[in-house]
Structure 1
Amino acid sequence: MGTPAVKGAQFIGSGRGLGETLPVKRLSSESGQWHVATITLSRREHEVAALVAAGMSNRQIAERLFVAERTAEYHVEQIRNKLGFRSRVQIAGWFQQQETPGSDAPGNLPVQLTSFVGRERELAQVQRLLAENRLVSLVGPPGIGKTRLALQVAARVAARFRDGCWLIELGALGDGAQVASALAAGLKVAERPGENLLETISSAFRARRALLVLDNCEHLLDATARVAETILRTCPEVRVLATSRQSLRLPSEVVYRVPPLGEAEILFCERAAQSAPDFESTPAVAAICRDLEGLPLAIELAAARVSLMSTDDLAAGLNQSLHLLTSGIRTAERRQRSLKAAVDWSHDLLAADERLLFARLAVFVGGFRLEAAAAVCGDGLSEVGDLILGLADKSLLSPLAGPARPTRYRLIETLRQYAAERLVEIGEGDRTQRLHLEFYIRWTASVGGRPGGLTQTFAMDRIEEELANIRAALEWSRSREPEGHLRLANAMSHFWLARGSTVEGRAWLEPALAASTHRGQTRADALWAAAMMAARQGDAEASRRHNREAIDIYRQLEDWGRLARALNNLAFSSDDQPEARRLLSEALDSARLSQDTTVVALVLSSRGSRLRAEGQATAARAVMEEGLALRRQAAHEWGIARSLLQLAHLDLDEGDRKSAGVLLREALEIVRRLGDSWGLAEVFDAFARRSADPLRVVHLAGSARALRDRTGDLPRSEGSVELEERLRSARLQLGAEAAAVEAAGHAMSLDEAIAEALHED
């Protein structure tokens, strides 16, 4: 997206506005009720409305459109008259409403649960700066409203960014090295083995028009600046809106210092009415807002108390806190003193149990559920749930609502830092951090206890929801609790494998293994996971080394199931075919000793693939069918889908398209239900191989490639050679259209790709 002039050019190029009729709500002077009137705006009026919405003056509009200023003024007046508006602000609001994308638009901007008050001037200024510059930083003290202003601007300009507006929250990160990972997670860009993560992100967004909102950059300025500069240099259609207490100090950066809220009294009255529906403003409100210097956070905290005391008492108590703070810390900046006064004062109003819980909640990063708060912070407290609700009611916790999910709560970062200071003061810092670590070890192990489970969408989303907490626990335990650190890293390993986050997983697992001295099951499991990650990254030597150590421990423990799994993996990383066959044979013997049907089926699946590759189709089918029967018996859906896929490729080898279609349709239903992107890509490839229509072959291959781009571009496991031959033939048949057809397949939605796969030739 370029300048507002470019926006106007888009209207001309698309023909939009030529005789276009738009339904606009207007107020009837007779009835006083809203009704829809059909208004016609000219193409030029559309252009002018777009530039008004971008915050431009009549002079600036005239310069952009190469017309006289009086002409620009005339068009603005015509728009106002036609739409029945009295101000430019109304024109801007109407235009943004017309341009707001639907709920299917890409991006991840959160839905705001409270109204946005005032700041029309600031909104227009930031929109104009963002239209003219690719990097704008909103700078100001904590509590000034940088994040909320950035989100409101992003929502208003969302229509200009076809590839979405993306919020990247950095406040929970403790290390600059995590900025790229947080950016990738927020943008849903998967790691690619052997590729620098920032290069992967740049590649994914090189041709996209998107807005990145980098929130809370102040503690990671150098790392954030490097990431922002790289993205801006390599992705010409991407723009960045940052929030920070300090600027990023980049050459292309435009800094906008967020002023105090001019509509502070309106904000106070709106929030007070939420706390006390019969609230009426008094002269004391102006004094409260003046003393709080127009800081939205401080005002909201104060307004939440009107249900407990009068505004006169509120003003008196606040003034006393300000006086005590000024006497205590003279070197603090005035705005920081005002914010701390509001938080101090609000904190002092809490009951003893509320203060204790508030301090303990500081260990949670990025939010928490009630079950976590009770387990980590509940010692010596009764009815933690009621205390949580009380803190939320007092605006010290923010509820994070989600569709059909339990409510999460979050301490905003400034309050979390304040609570952390109180936790240190009461001497419970390490104890509460240790309880936090132990909780997430147990919780992560229960949610992601086995590889198959983590392909389920629900489990994947639950782990991702708690990633900030898990990373915080890993960071804290790294030097303090090496064995607990390894236990948590190991519990996370299946998530990292399923999501393709092998770079991060290895970065945690391998140092944890080096620091741990315990030789037990946890170490062996962590070694197995590290081996899998190393193999995906092409580090065969590290994979073999980790597998061999895991195998030694499993032999000592006589853990036959896990031994079979490690032997199976070692066989795949071996370049020695006789050794690979020997390892698979031993793996099958160990799997049968374990009496774990899922492990037996896993090894049978591997053996079947090897027999098929060696041309032993009859033996391969017998082994594969045995594995499928065991997986059906265990109701292991992830494994069932893999076995069905193997057998379908075997049928295709033998020319039985009908039987292969039956197997693939069942596999497709399973992987779709599980939300298994890697499995969907494999099934789409198999359907492509099965199809006799060259258009469908290339379409489905493109869809499979799109899925792999999002999951880390993992290699195909079955039928890769045969599919490549089928693709080569299909591309030759399509000729010059092949590239466009594949691009169309890559752009298809999941539902469209599934419909294409299920369509019979």
Structure 2
Amino acid sequence: MRIQEDADGTTSPRIFISYRRDDTAGHAGHLYADLVAHFGADSVFMDTETIEPGADFTVQLSREIASCNVLIALIGKQWLQRRLRDPEDYVRLEIQAALDRNMRVIPILLQGARMPSVAQLPGSIAELSHKNALEISNSRWRHDVDKLISALQRRAGTTPSPSRRLTNLPLELTSFIGRRAELQHLQELQSQSRLLALIGPGGVGKTRLAIQLATYLRARFSDGVWLVELASITDESLVPQAVAAALDVPEQAHRSLEATLEDHLRDRETLLVLDNCEHLVQAAARLVQTLLRTCPKLNLLITSREPLNVPGEVTWWVAPLEESDAVQLFLDRAGAVGFELPADGLPVVAGICRRLDGLPLAIELAAARSHMMAVQDIDARLGDRFQLLTGGSRTAAERQRTLEAAVDWSYDQLSEPEQLLFGRLAVFSGRFALRDAEEVCSGPPLTSAAVLELLTRLVDKSLLVAEEGRYRLLETMRAYGTLRLAATGREQEVREQHARHFLSVAQSRAPGQFSRWLDRVEESHDNCRGALGWAIAHDPQLGFQLAGALFEFWRLRGYNTEARGWLQSLLATSGVASPLRTAARVELGACVYSQNELETARSILEAALAEARELVDLVNEMLALKFLSLVMLALGDHEQATACAEKAFDLASQQGDRLQTSQVSQNLGVIHGSVGDVDGARHWLGKSVAIQRELGRGDEASTTLALLAAIANLQNDHESADAAILESLQAGSALKDRRLGWTLDVLSARLAEDRPEMAQRLAGAASAMHESVGIRPPAVWESLLQSALAPARAAIGEQAAAAAWEEGRQMHFEEAVALALAQAKARP
């Protein structure tokens, strides 16, 4: 037996994954990629993922088992099949070979499967029943896989370490049925083309096929396989934003998001899966063509109802299921709701599948009714509804009507309250929570208390998807529901209710709950976008309110470009001058300032200031001066910056607005520090932090604490500096605040002499954070930082310093913050 040994003498596990394709292929693909990400591709073997084309399958399997020291046997609900009794069954042979070699065999139970008993197993592998099994569930996948990795490492004598996340592909909760030959051929096509498009009508199964294919392909892409869901995106300009969000790539100042994506993907072996491109086909085509030209290692898999028509695109038309697979799909999904096939039922099921054109969505909808209707009744009902399927050509439009007919039929099976809720749910974009549905969809004759039960029924009837405690309508269902809602004559009323609800979500920020508020708004962002789009067309005043409530979220989470677009659209609507419009102009100026377009920001803010003074609007006058003070400082006009900030401070104080007093105090601290007045800077920054704590908003003080730490460090008050750094990191990490670059700058300065390489790495990470939110530190800050880092560069040399800096720049935000926290906590 060949066992891999590390340089330090410890033994690394070499792992063989045994599984049945028609039982746990999807789980095997996910587990394979997770283990490869942790142990390396040379340490994990999984049949076709690592067998070269043309190689003898049985010989290679035998050779690979002999070279391994661990066999993982994946056992799902279909694992214990009749063919296990066949002496030539490959799963049986794999396990038998491992047991004969006294290898460690770990049974993994999936899909709620139970461990086979001795009586259920052939004698040659009966010993398997005595092995301690590990359960891995979809809902606890990360936790359970980490547990498996830890067990493997303990046995090998190595130290457990976290694995790198290499995909966001969902774990499917239902079995994948059919399309085996298609999947094999698609894998071959993908190896020959960097752009593979799965094309077909709605409901034909493009998304499920793409996810299954991507799961199989994960081992080919060392930098991961990432799903980008476009169904909830209605604005073409947000396609790059969706891709960036899936990859966790932040925006950068002075750069288009497309250029940032190009840099991120240029040298990465990555597969992007763009799902549901048809309503964004032009924007998707432009982005795909740009990325393919500039990122030679990037591959794309897209699903759409029409090709992108991009050079090099290979299209695969996804056909309906073959009849045998369609019948199996019906029986599988019907079995999940308790259906038992009667003796004379098989021909009837086959007839249902034929009438539904083999479209998986329509078949699943029919199967969902099998626990309440005999299959003969289902067949008769479909005959009434799907008359279009009895003749005529199979054009794309007719296939769409087939799906619509399936949904129409399913809709007719709902009670009146269920129908009413289904239509109202169509106003949601993307995912929504139970409380969202209760607030938006309740109203005569639906009570809030009835919504939960009705949601449950819609999930049970396959008209609504429930996942991770939230809900969503499939896009086809949402479009159908919109038509039904419009037919009631109450669409605008429900959409206004939807917009006002998400306005209340955006306005729900409370002292001490900043992190929770940010996360709540993040998960509601698609719906806030939908509400803004409606408000611009129907109620601009509500739109101004919503944009104002989202302003801090947009700035903190790096949505400056999107915020700018929404604010410009709102300001383009007709309307008389008002405090809401002025506030939007101030917010627009702040966004432009954040993107370092200083003269443009100055112009916008000065116009807002004049508008506020004309309206005698003291609140917006103060806000315009607050941001204008920062712009003037960045432009080098310290005198004007001071005047603006002092006037803003007076206005905030006169209005008794303690929160704004705190924020303007921070500005004054920065201004004093920029001219070398460290005592004045410490006074104003300390005042800002004190007020925030007084208001119960200490969790929002991360940036102020970082600046205060910098001043304390300049005054050689190292104890205060270290305490402020740690508090800033703890507050900012909870908020996922990318302005933590300021804190990392100060921490790197503190580490320069004791830990020079770490100081350079953290300084590089800080530089990347600044860029991600459009921050350009002032010249005096950069000068002080480089002076503080000079001992670090001298200690390790310029080449090593540059390498450490670049390593820090490449770190993910969460990784960099975790490293900084560990260093801050280790300070004496």
Q: Which residue of 2 aligns with 1:75?
A: 59
Whichever residue aligns with residue 785 of structure 2, its letter is L
Aligned mates of 2:542, 2:412 — CA distance in 1: 36
Separation of aligned partners in 2, 1:26 and 1:468:
39
Cα distance in 2 for partners of 1:424, 1:617 equals 63
**Is the 8 Å Cα contact of residues 561 and 596 (structure 1) preserved in structure 2?**
no
State the distance in 1 between where 2:332 and 2:46 align: 31
Q: Partner of 1:446: helix, strand, or coil?
A: coil
- Which residue in the other structure is 2:195 paired with? 135
Measure the CA separation in 2 of the matches of 1:191 and 1:145.
34
Structure 1 contact 483–516 (Cα < 8 Å) conserved: no
Q: Which moved more, 1:558-567 or 1:227-236?
A: 558-567
Give the match for residue 466 of structure 2: 399
Q: Does 1:323 pair with 2:319?
A: no
The counterpart of 1:541, out of the listed 580, 586, 599, is: 599
Task: Pick closer, same or farther for the CA change 1:565–1:487 going to 2, 3 Å.
Answer: closer
The aligned counterpart of 2:136 is none
SS for the counterpart of 1:61 is: coil
- The 2-side partners of 1:79 and 1:243 are apart by 39
8 Å Cα contact 1:52/1:88 also seen in 2: no
1:402-423 Cα offsets, whole Å, 9 max, x none, are xxxxx32211111222222223
Q: Helix, strand or coil for the counterpart of 1:242? A: strand
Q: Does 1:472 align with 2:533?
A: no
Answering whether residue 301 of structure 2 is matched by residue 257 of structure 1, we say no
* Aligned match of 1:632: 693
Q: How many Å separate the matches in 2 of 1:479 and 1:72?
A: 64
**1:726 aligned partner:** 788
Segment of structure 1 superposing worse, 133-142 or 666-675: 666-675
Three-state SS of the structure 2 residue aligned to 1:649 is helix
Who is 1:276 aligned against?
A: 338
Q: Alpha-carbon deviation of 1:265?
A: 2.0
Aligned to 1:745: 808
Residues 687-742 of structure 1: per-residue CA shift (max 9 Å, x gap): 11112132222121123234445x33523478432112233442243222223222
Contact between 1:193 and 1:503, CA under 8 Å: does it hold in 2? no
Q: Is the 8 A contact 1:193 1:538 kept in 2?
A: yes
Higher mean C-alpha displacement, 723-732 vs 695-704: 723-732
* Bigger Cα displacement from structure 2, 230-239 vs 609-618: 609-618
Match of 2:541 among 474, 483, 486: 483
Structure 2: gaps of 5 or more residues:
21-40, 72-86, 95-106, 111-141, 147-162
Aligned residues: 702
Distance 1:328 1:356 in 2: 34
Which of 681, 686, 691 does residue 620 from structure 1 map onto?
681
Determine helix, strand or coil for the equivalent of 2:426: helix
Q: How does 1:176-575 map to 2 (within 5 A)?
A: 176-262=236-322, 263-276=325-338, 282-283=345-346, 284-323=348-387, 333-382=397-446, 383-401=450-468, 407-447=469-509, 456=515, 458-552=516-610, 554-555=612-613, 563-574=621-632, 575=635
For the residues of structure 1 that align with 2:92 and 2:805, how far apart are their CA atoms?
Answer: 45
Pick from 725, 737, 749 the counterpart of residue 676 of structure 1.
737
Q: Equivalences for 1:151-190 in 2 at 5 Å?
A: 151-190=211-250
Verify the 8 A CA contact 2:187 2:213 in the aligned structure 1.
Answer: yes
Is the Cα–Cα contact under 8 Å of residues 695 and 730 in structure 1 kept in the other structure?
yes
Gaps of 5+ in 1: 1-10, 28-44, 63-70, 402-406
Please give the alpha-carbon distance, in whole angstroms, between the structure 1 residues aligned to 2:538 and 2:660: 36
Q: Give the Cα–Cα distance (whole angstroms) in 2 for the partners of residues 739 and 363 of structure 1.
A: 52
For 1:733 and 1:653, how far apart are their aligned partners in 2? Answer: 21
Deviates more, 1:234-243 or 1:326-335: 326-335
List aligned pairs for 1:704-715, cutoff 5 A: 704-708=766-770, 711-715=772-776
Identical residues among aligned pairs (%): 35
Q: CA-atom RMSD, angstroms?
A: 3.6
Instruction: Measure the CA separation in 2 of the matches of 1:236 and 1:152.
Output: 24
* In structure 1, C-alpha distance between the alignment counterparts of 2:64 and 2:747, rounded to whole Å: 57
CA 80–579 in structure 1, closer or farther in 2 if over 3 Å, else same: closer
TM-score (norm 2): 0.77
Output one character per residue of 1:121-155: Cα deviation in whole Å (capped at 9) or x when no partner.
22222222223321111111111111011112222
* Cα pair distance change 1:386/1:49, threshold 3 Å: closer
Contact 2:423 2:482 in 1 (8 A): yes
Which residue is 2:170 aligned to?
110
SS in 1 for 2:693: helix
Moved more, 390-399 or 111-120: 111-120
The answer (yes or no) to whether the contact 2:289–2:311 under 8 Å persists in 1 is no
Equivalent of residue 641 in structure 2, options 580, 587, 593: 580
Mapped to 1, the partners of 2:745 and 2:732 lie a distance apart of 13
Number of the residue aligned with 2:762: 700
Contact conserved, 1:607 with 1:623, CA < 8 A, in 2? yes
The change in CA–CA distance for 1:520 and 1:90 in structure 2 (over 3 A counts) is farther
C-alpha change, 1:250 and 1:583, in structure 2 (3 Å) is closer
User: Which whole-Å CA distance do the structure 1 matches of 2:452 and 2:428 have between them?
Assistant: 16
The equivalent residue for 1:66 is: none
Shift of 1:194: 2.1
Cα distance 1:74–1:599, how it changes in 2: closer, same or farther (>3 A)? closer
Confirm or deny that 1:611 pairs with 2:611: no
Equivalent position SS for 2:336: helix
TM-score (normalised: structure 1) = 0.84
8 Å contact from structure 1 (residues 318, 341) kept in 2: no
Q: Does the CA contact (< 8 Å) of 1:48 and 1:61 recur in 2?
A: no
Task: Indicate how the Cα distance of structure 1 residues 581 and 396 shifts in structure 2: closer, same or farther if over 3 A, else same.
Answer: same
